[in-house]
Structure 1
């Protein structure tokens, strides 16, 4: 599968709706209220439905083995995003004649077909060539269920329920006449539609609800090259909006929001599962038909009024709060109040029409739209709470006396407490990703702060060592200077010089800083006249004796 998202089981084999989030896939939560394009495949077990979707959309639905006797590979309904666009969802539906369910599986298969008919823009009816014209074949039974659901919904709101129905005929011969095949299938479809229409007393036409196409595919293994070529052409019609035969048209969209798909489809499935689907549909009178038209008008009107009221109240909540960077106090409780009041107003206005299918369908649609709107506001609130918690963390860690672990705990607890208060009870909204992002940011800030403190401590230690070295150098220089200028404080020095008479010898004696020095030097003859032949003793008086005495203080 081209997408990183896994295959999602929507309905399990027990008939339970599985997803719990408002959106089916994480990417859908980011896409907001953009409408999904849903392409579903129906058909018999082992007819190659899963492999067909894999070839068309690059999905990776599990496929059956080639064993002649196999159990159902697809159980329930599975979904996957298409390779070319996350807004396109492919639905793989359990085979209609599964041997695992036996004869009791008809009701479940009919519900699945009804579910698909209510949400799919394009329905691929996968059937074998040898089943064409056999009204007891499983593909025709599915077609009857699809038509019944479409008539029920389309008769009340025809503009919103047109669908592209593509007969994908498998294992065709090379010399098949496609025009003959198309004519035969169209005649069969009209006959089945008229039968369903007569049971509901509806006057809507097949063309108003369905745009029918026929695609013939040769055998997947015996004519592999031609099969791949046929799949490529069909894939282009399903994925390339520039193709002249593009099938996924805006006119076929059921306008299911990407971030609210889970909410809408859950209510739809629960409604289908709680309604008997395998009982004969009795003929309705013209009075009942008129009643349905009135119900459609009343329910649509009540829907619009309730939605407008809820939108105004939600808009008032954001003014002066989120719009100005302030959180909405008690948002969860306030959102629940808006939702409950809107549904209560709708229920009160449509109380007379609770037996009509459109009443429950429009109620689900109302709940889904309000939920989507509130969830968008909720996410803005969560982002603001995350920013506030991060600011709190930074403020606390700015103090050197506060441990970063304590700041982390208080900020995380603050976010978690306020996030829980912002959740609408029963909504299924989650803040796991936002909390993880907050924790990662705080952890990164703590790591950077510890790294900075380590650098600062190291720099301070280096500075202290440098100061000690400078002080030591200064002390040594002072000692040298003291020696050079008379010794250290408290030391005394004395010196004396003497020349014996009638000699050239000059002797000097000195005592300095505890050391005694004696120096003997020879005086040249030409210098003897300076002191006389007798030296100090005859030529120099006692007052001029060469003595020195120095005490350093």
Structure 2
């Protein structure tokens, strides 16, 4: 939500008591509207002596609303602690740091050094604000503070354990520049001062001993005329400087890839608050380790959030498969869709963190998703087994066990083994079609055990059907033999003259033959 005149509000992230704000994350999302920025944002901080126009410069360049000094009230401290705001023209977070050398803090330089170190370790670009007449001054030009800050910052790189070096751009804004001394001359003087600071630093590793300050910092210099006495010139130079921050085609564009801290915006609050905590506890900062911890923490948070939404999506599957023992026709498609959606959500939010950690957490998430889906796979297989057995049993009853029914469409002489084999092939194909459809890629799932169990059950049913058919055939043969005996006795009783009538009466149970043959066939048998 923007305030009037479309200027983003300021927020104090560290107060004068060195307490870090609990609301920075909320401000980033709701006030500065950066929740979707991911890595597409930049951080610029400014520090220097008190009352050198730091806040005024930020307001001029980025249309922010930092408090500025009222000269009529005397030269006093305006910015207390560290304040942040967002640029109007681009996703740039601005950090306005309490000025050094203030009478309010006197000899206590503890906060000044902590704040400067905080800016140096969390910003891509640090604007070092100083007057032209301070260029050759050691104390007045804050060179002593810079030396302390760079010394501590050097310890960060010494602790990186082979990690790629992160550089920071230090932009020297020479205020109230008169033009009498060429900017190149002032630049050389300042660069010599930085080189001197570097030589005086304590270096404890081979890497830092053999490197120069330029391996860790880039420098850019600009002169800005007096803002009151030379208003038009100041406005022109300020506009030129603004283009270096917002125009990517500018030859002096400041936001180069090697300066970015690679901290996604949704983790920025935690990252900078942890950095501040370590600074206040005088711990040696290890930025790569800090990024690893942050990446692991955020990737776990994102993964857990994705899992919660995933659980809600698959709730209805539990009702269908677990509670109703039903078969879901497109279960495999639904499981793949829900799983892919969860993985895509994770990738979208977590891919901006350290690749090795992001990938490892993605593997863990995939395993968790598969575990949750496996229950549907197993249940569907069980239900398929039951359904296939019922189908086969029904087919057997409708064919083999029901041959005598008037509705049976097969002939008496149909081959029972072929009927059973045909019905079994249909049932097994049904099971395999559905079983294969629910096997997800990137799993070791298999339906072979359930398929083997199904075949054992079908074998048993098939054998029972064949046995039943065989017994029925035997019974049929016995009955026919009994019918023939009965017919013979009837013929003998009725005499040979009643052959035709008896044959007609028994139908297919008896085939009439010539009387002469019957007389010869049965003459020796007792009625």
Scaled to the shorter chain, the TM-score interval is 0.5 to 0.7
Distance across 2 between alignment mates of 1:4 and 1:69: 27
Instruction: Say whether the 8 Å CA contact 2:48–2:100 is kept in structure 1.
Output: yes
Q: Which among 124, 128, 131 is matched to residue 121 of structure 1?
A: 124
Which residue in 1 is equivalent to 2:346? Answer: none
* Structure 2 residue aligned with 1:256: 263
Match 2:22 to one of 19, 24, 30:
19
Where does residue 132 of structure 1 map in the other structure?
A: 135
The change in CA–CA distance for 1:305 and 1:218 in structure 2 (over 3 A counts) is closer
Matches of 2:290 and 2:16, distance apart in 1: 35
Q: How many residues align?
A: 316
Q: The residue matched to 2:89 in structure 1 has which SS? A: coil
Q: Give yes or no for the alignment of 1:237 onto 2:227.
A: no
- In structure 1, what is the Cα distance between the partners aligned to 2:165 and 2:246? 22
CA shift, 1:69, in A, is 3.3
How far apart in 1 are the matches of 2:147 and 2:233? 31
Q: Which runs of 5+ in 2 are unaligned?
A: 318-352, 366-527
Where does 1:100-249 land on structure 2 (aligned, <5 Å)?
Answer: 100-104=104-108, 106-157=109-160, 159=164, 161-198=166-203, 202-203=208-209, 204-249=211-256
Q: Is the 8 A contact 2:7 2:88 kept in 1?
A: no
Q: Which residue of structure 2 lines up, in the alignment, with residue 88 of structure 1?
A: 92
Is 1:79 the counterpart of 2:92? The answer is no
Verify the 8 A CA contact 1:63 1:73 in the aligned structure 2: yes
Task: Assess if the C-alpha contact under 8 Å between 2:267 and 2:298 holds in 1.
Answer: no
Change in Cα spacing, 1:155 to 1:240, as seen in structure 2 (3 Å) is farther
Shift of 1:243: 0.5
- CA distance in structure 1 between the aligned counterparts of 2:69 and 2:57, rounded to whole angstroms: 12
User: CA separation in 1, counterparts of 2:89 and 2:181?
Assistant: 32
Note if contact 1:24-1:262 (Cα within 8 Å) is conserved in structure 2. Answer: no
Aligned positions of 1:466-545 closer than 5 A = none
Residue in 1 that maps onto 2:41: 36
Q: Does 1:45 align with 2:50?
A: yes
Could you tell me whether the CA contact under 8 Å between 2:64 and 2:88 is conserved in 1?
yes
Please, what TM-score do these two structures have when normalized by structure 1? 0.51
Checking the alignment, whether the CA contact within 8 Å between 2:8 and 2:65 is kept in structure 1 is no
Tell me the CA shift for residue 226 of structure 1. Answer: 0.9
Looking at structure 1, the residues matched to 73 and 46 of structure 2 have their Cα atoms a distance apart, in angstroms, of 22
Offset of 1:305 from its aligned partner?
Answer: 10
- Whole-Å Cα distance in 2 between the matches of residues 50 and 117 of structure 1? 18
Q: Would the alpha carbon gap of residues 170 and 320 (structure 1) be closer, same or farther in structure 2, given more than 3 Å must change?
A: closer
- Within-5 A mapping of 1:446-485: none
Query: What CA distance in whole angstroms lies between the structure 2 residues aligned with 1:121 and 1:228?
Result: 25
> Which runs of structure 1 show a deviation greater than 6 angstroms over 4 or more consecutive aligned residues?
none
Instruction: Tell me by how many angstroms 1:94 deviates.
Output: 0.5
Q: Higher mean Cα deviation, 197-206 or 156-165?
A: 197-206
Deviations 1:26-82 (A, max 9, x none): 245631533531111111000000001011111111110114733210000000100
| Pairing 1:373-412 to 2, within 5 Å after superposition | none
SS in 2 for 1:98: coil
Distance 1:31 1:142, change over 3 A: farther
Aligned to 2:103: 99
| Residue number in structure 2 paired with 1:504 | none
* Aligned counterpart, 1:265: 272
CA deviation after TM superposition for structure 1 residue 174, in Å = 2.7
Q: What residue in structure 2 maps to residue 488 of structure 1?
A: none
Cα distance change, pair 182–314 in 1 and its aligned pair in 2 (3 A): same
Shift of residue 151 of structure 1?
Answer: 1.3
CA distance in 2, matches of 1:276, 1:173: 43
Give the direction of change, closer, same or farther, for the CA distance of 1:28–1:146 in structure 2 (3 Å limit). farther
CA contact (8 A) 1:9 1:19 kept: no
Please provide the CA RMSD for this pair. 3.7
1:96 Cα deviation after fit: 0.7
Per the TM alignment, residue 244 of structure 1 is displaced from its structure 2 partner at its CA by 1.1
Aligned position for 1:347:
none
Which residue does 1:444 correspond to in 2?
A: none
Q: Name the counterpart of 2:307.
A: 317
Which structure carries more strand by proportion? Answer: 1
Which of 8, 11, 19 pairs up with 1:8? 11
Aligned-residue offset at 1:17: 0.7
**Deviations along 1:391-444, whole A, 9 cap, x unmatched?**
xxxxxxxxxxxxxxxxxxxxxxxxxxxxxxxxxxxxxxxxxxxxxxxxxxxxxx
Kindly state the Cα deviation for residue 198 of structure 1 after the two structures are TM-superposed.
Answer: 3.8
Within the candidate set 52, 62, 68, 1:63 is matched to 68
Give a deviation string over 1:72-130, Cα, whole Å, max 9, x none: 10000000100112x211111000111111112x0110000011011110000000111
Question: Between Structure 1 and Structure 2, whose CA radius of gyration is higher?
Answer: 1
Over 3 Å counting, the alpha-carbon distance change for 1:257 and 1:325 in structure 2 is farther
Contact 2:165 2:216 (C-alpha < 8 Å) held by counterparts: no
Change beyond 3 A, Cα 1:296–1:211: closer
1:29 to 1:225, Cα distance in 2 relative to 1, 3 A: closer
Which residue pairs with 2:467 in the alignment?
none
8 A contact 2:175–2:224 mirrored in 1: yes
